[in-house]
């Protein structure tokens, strides 16, 4: 059988949380591989999504933006329907939208717990469900969940975040088992510490504390860049990944190799 390649020509991808950071980088990377890309985010992040959409159009593919709050199930279903109406199909879903709230476990409130779990786990499930219903009618598709290396290791002051990302990794396996019969693959990417606005806002450590942490735990010696996750996403979205499903692909600069 000839090598299927990493070309995404003619495919349509929907990337949640794509107004900035990892989501924006993945959206642009998928476009460079040939996909048309629907960007989506909460209203306050849409200006960034629109800027990314214009960059994507410069790659010779189509791109549009959609307001999407993954906590609103009706909004999820409506957005998926709009993407299919505008592009004619939906081949790839990247569940990237997520939040983190760094707190000691003894100080976590119910509101903060629910916000993290609902955004990072409940939202991706219902986005995947809505996308899968379209993909089943088309005969297949690709779903990529953005989990974390903290799905398989622990981090202090991250009880809700670690629980949500571990849950997303195992949800990935469940959906992979259920939906492979429809030609849908479901995989996850587990990024290590990545230089994003969300991470920078949540990290209250001093420069010295950060340097000590990276020295002890990060063989790469630095935080990763969002663009360093693009290759994993393109592979999992591509024809070459037709037999790859239920997998958590860790991209963490060697953090979990220690």
Residues recognised as catalytic:
161
Instruction: Map residue 6 onto helix, strand or coil.
Output: coil
The token pair that represents 81 in the structure block = 């329907």
Count of residues making up the chain: 258
Return left, alpha or beta for 200; rule: phi > 0 is left, psi -120 to 50 is alpha, else beta: alpha
Using CA atoms, how far apart are residues 172 and 247, in angstroms rounded to an integer? 8
Using CA atoms, how far apart are residues 52 and 226, in angstroms rounded to an integer? 14
Residue 68, CA distances (Å) to 71, 159, 189, 241 in order: 9, 26, 22, 28
Strands 92-95, 248-251: parallel, antiparallel or unpaired by DSSP? unpaired
Burial of 195 (0-12, 13-18, 19+ CB in 10 A): middle
Burial of 198 (0-12, 13-18, 19+ CB in 10 A): middle
């Amino acid at each position: 059988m000839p090598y299927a390649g990493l070309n995404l020509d003619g495919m349509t991808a929907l990337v949640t949380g794509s107004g900035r950071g990892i989501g924006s980088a993945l959206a642009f990377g998928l476009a460079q591989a040939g996909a048309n890309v629907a960007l989506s985010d909460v209203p306050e992040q849409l200006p960034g999504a629109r800027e990314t959409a214009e960059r994507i159009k410069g790659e010779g593919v189509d791109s549009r933006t959609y307001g999407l709050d993954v906590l609103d199930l009706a909004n999820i279903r409506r957005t998926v329907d709009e993407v299919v109406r505008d592009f004619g199909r939906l081949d790839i879903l990247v569940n990237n939208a997520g939040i983190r709230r760094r707190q000691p476990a003894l100080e976590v409130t119910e509101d903060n717990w629910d916000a993290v779990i609902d955004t990072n786990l409940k939202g991706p499930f219902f986005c995947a469900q809505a996308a899968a219903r379209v993909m089943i009618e088309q005969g297949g598709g690709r779903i990529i969940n953005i989990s974390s290396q903290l799905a398989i290791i622990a981090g202090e002051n991250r009880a809700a975040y670690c629980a949500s990302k571990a849950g997303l990794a195992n949800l990935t396996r469940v959906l992979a088992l259920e939906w492979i019969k429809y030609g849908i693959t479901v995989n996850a990417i587990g990024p290590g510490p990545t230089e994003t606005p969300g991470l920078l806002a949540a990290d209250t450590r001093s420069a010295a504390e950060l340097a000590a942490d990276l020295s002890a735990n990060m063989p790469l010696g630095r935080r990763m860049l969002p663009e360093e996750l693009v290759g994993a996403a393109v592979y999992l979205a591509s024809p070459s990944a037709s037999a790859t499903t239920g997998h958590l692909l860790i991209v963490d600069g060697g953090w979990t190799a220690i």
